[in-house]
Every structure is written in C-alpha cells, then in structure tokens.
Structure 1
Amino acid sequence: MDLDAFTAVHNQQWERLDRLSRRRRLDGAEADELVRLYREVATHLSTVRSAAPDPVLVTRLSDLLSRARVRIGGAHEPSWSDVASFVVVTIPAALYRIRWWSVAVIVACLAISVVAGVHVATDPAALASMGTPAEQKAYVEDAFASYYDPGVSFAAMVWTNNAWIAAQCVGLGITGFWPVFVLVQNAVSVGATGGMMAAHGELDLFLQLIAPHGLLELTAVFVAGAAGLKIFWTVIDPGPRRRTVAVAQEGRALVTVAIGLAGALALSGLVEGFVTGSTLPWWLKIVIGAVALAVFWAYVLVLGRRATDAGMTGDLDPDRAGEVLPTAG
C-alpha cells in the first residue's frame, strides 16, 4: 500500500476528526459526524497496521482516536477498582521484574557497608576522619540515639526525605551515574557510622537503633537504585525492541516502582517514628522491623509473580501508553 497516497486521500477526514475532538461544544449534527469519523478512522488505523505498519502514522492515528474516544465517551474516571488493581497487580509486577537487580544491588551495598565499617573500626586514621575525639564521643553517647525522636512530624520528615531519594534514583537512573552515587554514598555512610560506634564499644546500640526501620528503609533505597540502573542498562541493551520504545516502556514501569517504594518508605517511616525511638524492648523493635521487611518481600514475590505470570509488566495499559509497533524476535 502506498502510504503517501493513502494519507493524501484520507487526511481531510483525519483533520476534521481532530478539529471536532478539540471543540468544547458540539451540536447534534457535529456529534453524529464525530462518531462516524471515529469509526472510519479506526478502520484506517486497522488498514495501516495490517498493510503498511508505519510507526509514525500508527502513532498519529492512535493519538487522534484516543482524543476522539474521550470526546465521545467522556474522560476515564479512576475508580476504586483501578486503585486496587494498581496496588495489588501493577506495582508488584514492576517490583518483581527487577528482583534480581535488587538482590545484586543489596548484596553489593551490604559488602561496601561492611568494608567501610571494618575500615573505620580498625584503622585509627579512618576513625579520625569521622571527627575529633570529642565530636565522636558526643555523637556516640548522645546525638545518635537522640536523633530518633518519636512522633508524627519526625516520621513524616523521614518518609518525605527517603521517598525523594528513591524518586531521584529512578528518575535520574538513565544517567547511570546518579544511582551509583546515591547507593555508594548511603552504603559507606551507614558502614562508617557503624564502624565508629563499634570503635567506641557501642555496636550493639547502633544495631538496635538502625535495624528496626533500616531493614526496610535501606532495602527500599537499594531497590530504587536497582530500578534506576535497570533503566540505564535498557539504554545500553534494549533487546529486540527499538531503543526509544524499550526505554519508554521500562521508564513507565519503573516509575511505578518509585510509587510503590514511597509506600514501603511510609511504612519504614512509621517504624522509625514510633518504634525505633520508643521504650519498647530492643528485641521487639527488631522483630517489628523484620516483619515489615518480610511483608514487603512477600508483597513483591507472591503478588508480583502472580501478576507477571498473567502478563503484567508494571507499564501502563496500551490505551494509556499509546500504540507500539510489534517487533519480531
């Protein structure tokens, strides 16, 4: 099929449908014309897809039909079923698809933290870089524990800060640099602080205060870094998909990861705000943190596997994401 000739013959109909779709008010005749043109252009799109699937023309007609569909049927109003589907299907699918990336990043960051901690705890020069002896003593004996001030405002502050870090890891993941910078910085910071506490004989206090919320909080940050690195890797190796299509699809799916991690970080923020600094026994605090982490991984692995087995990826539905030309391979 000659696409240029086909476009020349039907372009006036497409432009007319576009104009009608953008009008704020339509009379009866115009509304009937809108419906008729919608049906005709839908047939044109089907013809193009089957005979000469040009991606530019397919996208143009898909966008045109999408606007016309909204004009005819009204805008889609999200319902509670949409919200429930997003929470129990879309988010777990997106998290499940990067589970091995997440595991690799978690293992690497834990290794960096241990190395940094041992280095600070055993090397006097490294310990000295953490501050003067007086500053270290003040931090170990007072500042570290007093930071965890129970309350709603503290929990909200912690949540918004960590959610912003996670969003940056995903949103700037395409750079390749920023997720690595954030991950290494967090891993070294946690490890070095633990090493300093250990050097002053307070490693048990460090673990008691970091474990309740840190199990889930650090996991969420590491998963965000993994999502960002996955986007970067998609740029390098898009697979059988065109690079622009692959990056768009992965980017949309992994933004879903950022939204899901905001929920996980809200939970860790509640633990940090109301459990870590509370008067509960230290073992109970750690149990609560471990349960929160277990809930997160059960959510990812159980619901995520079920969703991906059903063909979900965490991306938007086709009618919201736009048409994509099928690719062989």
Structure 2
Amino acid sequence: MKQEQFVARHQAEWDALEQWLQAHGERARRRGGPPPVPVGVDDGEVPARYRRLCQQLALARRRGYSTPLLERLQALMQRGHAVLYRAPAPRWHRAAEFLVAGFPQLVRSQAGCMWASLALFAGPLVGLFVLLQFRPELVHELLDPRRIAEVEAMFDPADPRHALGRDSGSDWQMFGHYVMNNISIGLRTFAGGLLAGVGTILVLLANGVGIGAVAGHLQAIGHGDPFWRFVAGHAPLELTALVIAGGAGLRLGVDLVAPGRRRRRDALVRAGRIGARLCLGVAVMLLLAAFVEAFWSSTQSIPAWIKYSVSALLWTLVLGWLWRGGHGVVEDGADAP
C-alpha cells in the first residue's frame, strides 16, 4: 500500500486521538483530573485506538514510509503511552482535590435543592427566634418542660461553671459524642429523601424549629451571652453541612418522584451517586465541626469578641469555599442536573 493511501485510511483516527490527548493535557494543567472526552471519541475507545496506533507505526516502519510520518506517529505513540500508563494520583491527592474543588462544584450544581433546603431549615429557625422575643410564653408550645429546664441550666450566666472550659478528658469524650450525633443527623437528613423527600423535609423543619426555639428562648430570658459564645464557633460548619445534607436528600426525593425522561430506577441511582458524594463532604464538615465544638466552643473563658471574630472568619471561609471553590476548573459534568 502506498503511503498516501495509508495516510488517507488512518488520518481521521490519528487526528481524533491527537485531539483527545490535547484535551487531556489542558485538563491536567488546570486540574490534574481525568480528561474530558472530545466529540467523536469515547473514553473507553482510547486504549484500543492506542494499540492500533502502535501497530500502524510498526507497519509504517516496515514499509519504509517517510521520516516525517514516522516521527508524527512516534510522537503520538509516546504521548499516548505517557497518559495511559502513568501512575495514578495518590488517594490523598484525589481526596484533597475533591474537597477543595469537586465538592463545592457539586453543591453549586444542585443549587435549586440547596436553596430549598436552606429555606426549610432557616425559615422556621429565624421566624421562631424573632417571634419568641415578643411572645416568650410560646416556647412551652414548642419544647417540653424538661428540655426548657435543661437548656436554661446549661447556659445560665450566673453559674460559675460557665466561666471555665471543661478538662481535657471531658473534651475528648464530648468530641466522640458530637461526631456520632452530628453525622447521624446528617445521614438521617439525606436518607429521608428516600421517602419521596418527606423525611428530609421533616428533619429540616424539626431542626429549624428546635434550634430556633432554644435560641429564641435563651435570648428572651437573658441567657443569650453564654449560648451565642458556645455556638458561634461550630455553627458555620455544622449548620451549613446540615443544609447541604438536606439538599442531597431533596435531590433524592425529586428524582424519585419526578424522574423526567429517565427510568425511575436510573434517576434514583443518579441521585444516590450525587448524594453519596455530597455526604462525603458533609461528613468531613461535621467532623471538623465536632472538633471545634469540643475543644473551642466549650471554652467559655475566651472573650466574646474573640469567639465572634473567629466565627465571622469561619463563615467567610466556608461560604467563600462553597461559592468559589473549583471555580474556573473544568467540571466532570457526569453529575450535572
């Protein structure tokens, strides 16, 4: 076969592989993740295309084709080898990349569910807090007497125990308690989406009502200072994580009730994958929140202005991370709505 016929037969395939490799290089420079698939090239076809390229290079050498053609095929083969047989990124690197960029991208891709979750949680919280400043007696319609007495004693500013932090042994014990409690709430919030989203809605409303009632009551009776100093530190991570878990649960419920053009099973699998990835980030956020709650929030001897300054910094970091994290990085797109 003449060289012109050989080139004409395989030129399109070489060009497609070259485009794939170029796209991979651009992606690697920006993020270091797997390449996007250019039009006309399926990701699974690349290894087979590379093997055919090696065979074509060997055939071109045996037939004595021109040096420019051999050099092009050799260069293409070397680039393909470097991509297909490179060492995979360490697991810690992939995990860090997901937390820094992939997780906030995924949260933003589910913006509708996230805003709905925020409304269901923050609406009753803020509403009840304001209402109890004008009608403090309504707290008895929301909380049982034992719970009211418990939170009043816990955050009584006249109690000298609130002037000091706990001992280190108690801090570690409470850290374990907070981890289990926070993560269990997050998982229940997400799993409630399997009940057509009703379970998630109830968990969000119940948490909003509970927190709003406690905060509003303590503020109304003059116990607000120790309460706000306690919650200020871990609230940015814990409350944001709860809203994200709620958004993941709502995504599950929406795809279960209204799968669109997908089969219900396929829609549920897709929503489950999105939710599972969101829950990984939520778990990390709740783990950090438990650490802050056990070792920082409980230390009431720290001046209030320091507590509030740290809280403002954490709110800025958390919201900025979710808003801008991974911005400008090519997104995977597999989990886009």
Hey, what's the Cα distance between the residues in 2 that align with 1:236 and 1:113? 27
The alignment's TM-score, normalised by the length of structure 1, stands at 0.63
CA shift for structure 1 position 107: 3.6
SS of 1:221 mapped into structure 2: helix
Taking CA–CA contacts closer than 8 Å with sequence separation of 6 or more, which of the two structures ends up with the larger relative contact order? 1
Aligned residue for 2:212?
Answer: 191
Q: Deviation digits for residues 250-293 of structure 1, max 9, x if unmatched?
A: 21121111110111112222221122122222122122223223
How many equivalent pairs are there? 243
Tell me what 2:106 maps to: 94
Alignment partner for residue 193 of structure 2, among 168, 173, 179?
173
Q: Distance in 2 between matches of 1:173 and 1:271?
A: 29
Residue equivalent to 1:257: 278
1:232 to partner: Cα distance: 0.5
Equivalent position amino acid for 1:286 in 2: Y
1:150-174 deviation line (CA, Å, top 9, x unaligned): 7233223212211121122223312
User: Residue 173 of structure 2 aligns with which residue?
Assistant: 153
Structure 1 unmatched ranges of 5 or more? 1-38, 43-72, 316-329
Q: 1:300 aligns with which of 322, 330, 335?
A: 322
Quick check: 2:117–2:250 contact (8 Å CA) kept in 1?
A: no
Cα separation, partners in 2 of 1:226 and 1:114, compared to 1, 3 Å: same
| Shift in CA distance, 119/254, structure 1 to aligned 2, threshold 3 Å | same
Deviates more, 1:86-95 or 1:158-167: 86-95
Structure 1 residue 284 and structure 2 residue 296: aligned? no
Correspondence 1:202-217 to 2 at 5 A: 202-217=223-238
Per-residue deviation, 1:198: 2.1
Q: Secondary structure at the residue paired with 1:169?
A: helix
Which residue pairs with 2:138 in the alignment?
Answer: 126
Q: 1:134 to 1:157 in 2, by over 3 A?
A: closer
Paired AA for residue 175 in structure 2? A
Q: Could you tell which deviates more after superposition, 290-299 or 255-264?
A: 290-299
Contact 1:216/1:264, CA 8 A, preserved across alignment: yes
Letter in structure 2 aligned against 1:154: M
Residues 148 and 195 (structure 1), Cα distance of their counterparts in 2 relative to 1, 3 Å cut: farther
Structure 1 93/209 Cα, relative in aligned 2: closer, same or farther at 3 Å? Answer: same
Letter in 2 for 1:159: V
SS in 2 for 1:172: helix
Q: Please state how far the C-alpha of 1:77 moved relative to its aligned partner.
A: 10
SS of the counterpart of 2:325?
helix
Given residue 168 of structure 1, which amino acid in structure 2 is its aligned partner? R
The list of structure 1 runs, each at least 4 consecutive aligned residues, that deviate by more than 6 angstroms after superposition, is 132-136
Q: List aligned pairs for 1:222-261, cutoff 5 A.
A: 222-261=243-282
Say if 1:138 and 1:167 are closer, same or farther in 2 by CA, change over 3 A.
closer
> Percent of aligned positions with the same letter in both sequences?
26
Matched, 1:117 2:129: yes
Instruction: State the alpha-carbon separation in 2 of the partners of residues 225 and 192 from structure 1.
Output: 20
The 3 A distance-change label for structure 1 pair 83 and 114 is closer
Given the superposition, is the C-alpha separation of residues 78 and 164 from structure 1 closer, same or farther in structure 2, using an over 3 Å criterion? Answer: farther
Q: Using the alignment, how far apart are the partners of 2:119 and 2:164 within structure 1?
A: 27
User: How many Å separate the matches in 1 of 2:202 and 2:107?
Assistant: 22
Give 2:8's aligned residue.
Answer: none
| Structure 1 letter corresponding to 2:135 | D
Distance 1:160 1:126, change over 3 A: same
Q: Using the TM superposition, name which of 242-251 and 260-269 deviates more.
A: 242-251
SS at match of 1:238: coil
Picking from 176, 184, 198, the partner of 1:164 is 184
Per-residue CA deviation, residues 16-74 of structure 1 (Å, 9 max, x unaligned), is xxxxxxxxxxxxxxxxxxxxxxx9xx9xxxxxxxxxxxxxxxxxxxxxxxxxxxxxx9x
Distance 2:108 2:297 in 1: 29
TM norm structure 2: 0.61
